Amino acid sequence: MKIPKQYENIDRFPVALDAIIFGFDRENLKLLLIKRDFEPKKGEWSLMGGFLKSDESLDEAASRILANLTGLKNIYLEQLYGFGEIDRDPVERTISIAYYSLINIHDHNKELVKQFSARWFPIDVLPDLIFDHLKMVEAAKARLRYKAARQPVGFELLPEKFTLPELQQLYESIYETDLDKRNFRRRILSMGVLVKTNEKQKGFSKKGAYLYRFDKNKFDMLNSPSNGAGLSFKPPNI
Amino acid sequence: MKIPKQYENIDRFPVALDAIIFGFDRENLKLLLIKRDFEPKKGEWSLMGGFLKSDESLDEAASRILANLTGLKNIYLEQLYGFGEIDRDPVERTISIAYYSLINIHDHNKELVKQFSARWFPIDVLPDLIFDHLKMVEAAKARLRYKAARQPVGFELLPEKFTLPELQQLYESIYETDLDKRNFRRRILSMGVLVKTNEKQKGFSKKGAYLYRFDKNKFDMLNSPSNGAGLSFKPPNI
DNA sequence: GCAAAAGTGTTACGAATACACCCATGA
DNA sequence: TCATGGGTGTATTCGTAACACTTTTGC
């Protein structure tokens, strides 16, 4: 096919993907950051990133980049925003599409993480970040809050079985607020997507809390028949 | 500065911006589409678009492209999503950042619109669109619903003075639903960002409806002192 | 005078909030 | 036995939804 003139003399740019990787360690919401090992800004903290290749879509590229650091595939990953200020990257004019992902913090490749000199940071005590990465993180926090209020994404951050106090702690971290135990349990259980197991968590508290499991089938059932915005997990009032 | 090796051998891509342009003609929510005048897909309907240049940010480029078609500057414009499927553009691998904008439908350059063979289409009777532009439109509709439920963006689509029945009609178009007149008026007025004028609209109804004006100062006041998500215009229950 | 749209209040319901005590267990 | 965290129910408040008649005026 002849190339139309509208495609001649146009600028072409490197397209970066940067990943905001959330994890939860049963206490704090955390971000996985890497220590950059090349100039510029060598040695400073950064989001994991990489450049788009021509044989992959944006989603595939983001997924590849996430796997490069964590070894994980099929992870919750959502596009966040495109950042394109002219001078955002001092080396070359670059645009970056930020993605955020939710992973189980215990469930990733420690070896890779070591190679990248990566570390988990509590979301409210982050180091300085290069370029516009802090803006990306802020956008991701806002999006996670929006998302978690509407869909039960919290489960992506937890192990398969978890207790209600753990789940509540997660939501409290996401919204940086305290929630009433009784109201929280009522709301969550009334959604009907949690299944109580007969097992109790041992070791943490004396009494032990029941373990629950997220029932993806029930969720899909409730969610699929064009339920408008899907089942709603109401946002806690901040 | 020496170029780090991480920036060598990377692919570079044309970055397109596509604009979903909403308008409202006191009856229907509409989209401004252009008839493409070059191959491929010459003669088919398309969103207004263009390519990023190296001396402008993404926002600036989107703004320029919007002005190319409408002649308007300083318009409500918000980034929507980055589209990057490999084969989305048959000519060349291109990524596109979609923006949506809200304009007053009577307030644009008719000459330019004619040059582009552009036309306003009711949002629910769109022609076939090229590439992935329909996906972009769907995303924009969803975003507008989200946005309008939280911030009074509706005013961007109306003339300076408008009646409450007109405003209600706009919201009904956005949400494709009927709203109760009394509840709507109460909700809108309780936000305290509308100022009633002494003028009545003539010509449309026999009785005539009072004209209101959006009070941007009050809005900024209510919105600025870190009011969480800002003043909330609750979403109509769909 | 009548058709057509504008304008106006009240009640009922459901959701969210606030709130305090008992239970199970390990140390 | 006591300290620690887990588990439970109810009353109140507030916001949302449902609903029907009067007013104005051009024709």
- Residues A146-184 pLDDT 10s: 898 888 888 899 999 999 999 999 999 999 999 999 999
pLDDT tens-digit profile of A34-49? Answer: 999 888 889 999 999 9
Pairwise CA distance, residues A141 & A153, whole Å: 13
Q: Are residues B104 and B165 in the same domain?
A: no
Instruction: Give the nucleotide nearest to B208 (CA→C1').
Output: C6
B193 and B79: one domain?
no
Give me the residue label for tokens 């291109």.
Answer: B94
**A85 touches B: beta carbon within 8 Å:** yes
A 159-188: CB within 7 Å of strand D: 163-165, 181-183, 185-186
Q: Which residue of A has its CA nearest to B229?
A: A238
More confident: B222 or B36: B36
Domain range for A80 is 13-149
Average pLDDT, chain B: 90
Q: Who contacts B31 (Cβ-Cβ below 8 Å, separation ≥6)? A: B20, B21, B22, B23, B120, B121, B123, B126, B137
**Which of B12, B81, B85 is closest, CB to CB, to A79?**
B81
The tokens describing A60, both together, are 């595939």
Q: Are residues B135 and B72 in the same domain?
A: yes
Neighbours of B8 (CB within 10 A): 7
Quick one: which residue's CA is nearest to D20's C1'? Answer: B182
Instruction: Give the pLDDT band of residue B219 (cuts 50, 70, 90).
Output: confident
Q: How many angstroms is C1' of D1 away from CA of A110?
A: 45
CATH of the domain at A195: 1.10.10.10
Nearest nucleotide from residue A210 CA, by C1' atom? D6
Gap from B147 CA to C17 C1', Å = 27
Query: How far is residue A223's CA from residue A86's CA, in Å, rounded to a whole number?
Result: 41
Structural domain tally of chain B?
A: 2
Claim to verify: residue A89 and residue A186 sit in the same structural domain: no
A19 and A114 both lie in a single domain: yes
Report chain D positions within 7 A of protein CB atoms. 3-10, 15-20, 23-26
Residue A186 inside a domain? The answer is: yes
Select from A58, A162, A125 the least CA-distant residue to B97: A58
Place of tokens 């001649």: A8
Q: How many C-beta atoms lie closer than 10 Å to residue A109's C-beta?
A: 14
For B155-177, write each residue's pLDDT tens digit: 899 999 999 999 999 999 999 99
The total number of residues shown for chain A amounts to 238
Catalytic site includes residue B172 = no
Provide the 10 A C-beta neighbour count for residue B228: 8
pLDDT at B29: 96
Q: Tens digit of pLDDT for each residue in B140-157? A: 999 999 899 888 888 899
**pLDDT tens for each residue of B61-76:** 999 999 999 999 999 9
Residues 6 or more apart whose CB falls under 8 angstroms from that of B218 comprise B192, B193
Reference A131, options A17, A45, A14; nearest CA is: A45
Query: For residue B224, what pLDDT is reported?
Result: 58
pLDDT at B1: 56
Q: Is residue B175 part of a domain?
A: yes
Please give the pLDDT value at position B150. Answer: 82
B157 burial level (CB within 10 Å; 0-12, 13-18, 19+): buried
Query: Counting runs of H as helices and runs of E as strands, what totals does chain B give?
Result: 6, 10
Say what the pLDDT of residue B133 is: 98
pLDDT in tens, A85-101: 999 999 999 999 999 99
Indicate whether A24 and A99 sit together in one domain.
Answer: yes
Amino acid at B100: Y
- Which residue did the predictor score with more confidence, B26 or A17? A17
Distance between CA A120 and CA A72 in Å, rounded? 16
Q: What average pLDDT score do residues A206-215 get?
A: 94
